[in-house]
Amino acid sequence: MSLLAVEKLEAFYGPIQVLRGIDLALRPGETLALMGRNGMGKTTLLRSLIGLVADRRGRILLDGKDVTRAPPEAIARGGVALVPEGRGVFASLSVVENLVMAARPGRRGKRAWTLDRIFELFPRLRERRHNGGHQLSGGEQQMLTIGRALMTNPDVILIDEATEGLAPLVAAEIWRTIERIRAEGVATIIVDKDFRALSRLADRAAILSKGEIVFEGTPGELAARPEVLERHLGV
């Protein structure tokens, strides 16, 4: 059974339709790479899954329950966390405050991710724990945003633009972190432009083009379709 699924999902911003009949499913513990050129609907899909797009149609199922009309807080309590594009760090709060404000047990009381575990995962955040969000580098902010999402002890984590704008060494650290999250059995949907890194991590890949799924399969199957890579990713 799928942990998170969409059926014939459509999403609109006013009169503009962004998603067009998306069918997609994420199994427990699975890592899905969501790819596509800019403006193809990836962020809108993630925002729809967490309930941040008001005008959405079709069905969104979380552990078999219809949450299509549920507000974001209900979907979050159901075990879904979002690492948004742009990070969304609270600039006036310290690292510790950013993390603690999100802390809560997951479904069935799960408390796998604690402050100590986040600091073990990101030693740099431990060093900067009393610094304000505005005093962090872009890479440190991304670590903080991932840590904040994990503090909700989610079953599913949605990561939008995982390494955008990060230096190569910092990006490599983020990818290692995502490997750790995967090993913990947290299901993940990752948006990023690094096809090679995504291919190493993901169980499956999906490509969005103009709001529609134009490819879904394993990274190996995608690599064997160079015409798809060229047309939709420019790889």
Give the C-alpha separation, 52 to 41, whole Å: 14
What is the helix, strand, coil percentage profile of the chain, to 5?
Answer: 35, 25, 35
Task: Please say if the pLDDT value at position 86 is more than 90.
Answer: no
Instruction: Give the residue among 76, 78, 52 at the shortest CA–CA distance from 65.
Output: 78
> Which pLDDT score, from 0 to 100, does residue 111 have?
87
Averaged pLDDT of the chain: 95
Give the H/E segment covering residue 182: helix 168-183
pTM check: above 0.85: yes
Host domain of residue 165: 4-232
CATH number at residue 66: 3.40.50.300
pLDDT of residue 234 exceeding 90: no
pLDDT band at 235; cut points 50, 70, 90: low
Q: How many domains does the chain have?
A: 1
